[in-house]
């Protein structure tokens, strides 16, 4: 059984994230969406809120072989703990590739048994990032069409309150 993890901050989850998760679910027997915890970073949503939102997104997308979990620390240790053979990383642009390539080589050094698979995002989401969505809503823009419906309401509500420290 091929198990893959899709790690990320998902703050907030975007339609680009959902695209990669859906396509991963078609390729692998089980996909674990792994919400990363970075205590040194400011987030709109807490880890718990991101997990709750992603579970709703997964449910609405009818992805029965996908589950959501969280981690702090190394992706490869999370992958090992969940017996995953693959880390799936979405790429939008060359700049993503440079960083993710370096990360993949580091992960390969740390865990030679775990492969990294790069998946290009769909064209319509190639510009999209969580940071871009946060900036749009923090300056009063409308994120509709950029995030899954389950994220839209909580995102609008959360951004009225501002960015929180976890």
Active-site hit among 43, 89, 130, 134: 130
Catalytic residue among 55, 67, 92, 108: 92
Let me know: does 86 contact 114? Beta carbons within 8 Å: yes
Contacts of 62 by beta carbon, 8 Å cutoff, 6+ apart: none
CA dist., res. 158 & res. 8, Å (int): 20
Catalytic-role residue among 9, 17, 50, 134: 17
- Residue 130 a catalytic site member: yes
Phi, psi of 134 (to 5 degrees): -60, -45
Tokens of 153: 């309401």
**67 noted as active-site residue:** no
Q: How far apart are the first and last CA of the chain?
A: 35
62 tagged catalytic: no
37 is annotated as an active-site residue = no
The dihedral formed by the CA atoms of 59, 141, 42 and 81, expressed in degrees to the nearest 10: 20
In this structure, are residues 116 and 107 in contact, taking their beta carbons and an 8 Å threshold?
yes
List the catalytic residue out of 41, 42, 59, 64. Answer: 41
- As annotated, the active-site residues are 17, 41, 92, 130
């Amino acid at each position: 059984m091929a198990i893959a993890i899709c790690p990320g901050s998902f703050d907030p989850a975007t339609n680009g994230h959902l695209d990669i998760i859906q396509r991963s679910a078609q390729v692998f027997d089980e996909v674990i969406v792994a919400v990363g915890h970075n205590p040194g970073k400011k987030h709109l949503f807490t880890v718990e809120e991101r997990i709750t939102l992603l579970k709703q997104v997964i449910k609405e997308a009818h992805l029965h072989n996908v589950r959501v979990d969280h981690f702090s620390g190394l992706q490869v240790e999370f992958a090992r703990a969940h017996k995953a053979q693959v880390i799936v990383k979405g790429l939008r642009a060359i700049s993503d590739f440079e960083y993710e390539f370096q990360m993949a080589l580091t992960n390969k050094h740390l865990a030679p048994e775990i492969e990294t698979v790069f998946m290009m995002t769909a064209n319509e989401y190639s510009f999209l990032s969580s940071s871009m969505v946060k900036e749009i809503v923090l300056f009063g823009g409308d994120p509709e069409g950029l995030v899954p419906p389950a994220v839209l309401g909580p995102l609008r509500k959360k951004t009225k309150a501002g960015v929180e420290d976890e």
